[in-house]
Structure 1
Amino acid sequence: MRRNLRSEHISAFLVELPKWWTAKLKKTRKLRGHVSHGKGRIGKHRKHPGGRGNAGGQHHHRINFDKYHPGYFGKVGMRHLHLKRNQQHCPAVNLDKLWTLVSDQTRDVYAKKTDVAPVIDVVRAGYYKVIGKGRLPKQPVIVKAKFFSRRAEEKIKGVGGCCILVA
């Protein structure tokens, strides 16, 4: 068996070769002297012979699409007209986190006053429902939300506050 010593020798030291030497190994060097440089006579390395992008997926490129992208074309099922998304979207906040929605400055102001209660709009803070986990400070508060759990409503009313339902 005859071995090509030159190619083995070159591949062994390819890492250490200068750039001008690796240029000798390129396909471009081999194609010098061949008129059309491997690009043919008629098309002459121009334009888009198969069409641009996904063109011809149902025609001349059908085999490729059927083999590698089955189900790419066509419809499935029925249309749902007037689809309402996020009907179950209902972020909730616990009672113990309720006062974090109000600034420290406002909290201090209302701590001194007993005749006026602060209004905490939970919906403005991005929550819809108030849940009854945790304790509230003994300070009346007006809470606006779309939903209240039973225990949350009891605890808010227990400290002298009130619950207002917002649409």
Structure 2
Amino acid sequence: MIRKTRKIRKLRGSRSIGGGCTKKRRGAGHRGGRGKAGGHKHMWTWVVKFDPDRYGKHGFKRPQKTINRFRTVNLDYLDDNAEKLVERELAQKEGDTIIIDVTQLGYDKVLGKGKLSRSLTIKAPHFSASAARKIEDNGGEAINL
């Protein structure tokens, strides 16, 4: 139904504008807080009745797979630090070749990043295809443990 004048126009001159006592509609306390405040306290019956799944954990999230199963080391690191490893007795030198056991260094897999400048004999549980190819192309040896 269309009204010529709205009710608020009639109420404008009054003190409380239809809200009863002037203290009643003063702030958000009149409605028990703003928004979803009090859901665990004084509005708990509303939550139980209308939104029972609001709190708590729901469903199951699958654990993500670990990306890297191996502790890896790159060929360029082994090539750059081969002499230092011999000095620290973590690698052995036989003639021109240096023998490195990466398990003594705490690694499981050799990756093929970088270039080799010398022939290395590397012992490791796992090699990437590019690492094994680079080692053998340079006159070295890739030994699987």
TM-score normalised by the shorter chain: which range applies?
Answer: 0.3 to 0.5
What is the TM-score of this pair, normalised by structure 2? 0.44
- Please state which structure has a larger fraction of its residues in strand: 2
- Please state which structure has a larger fraction of its residues in helix: 1
What is the TM-score of this pair, normalised by structure 1? 0.40
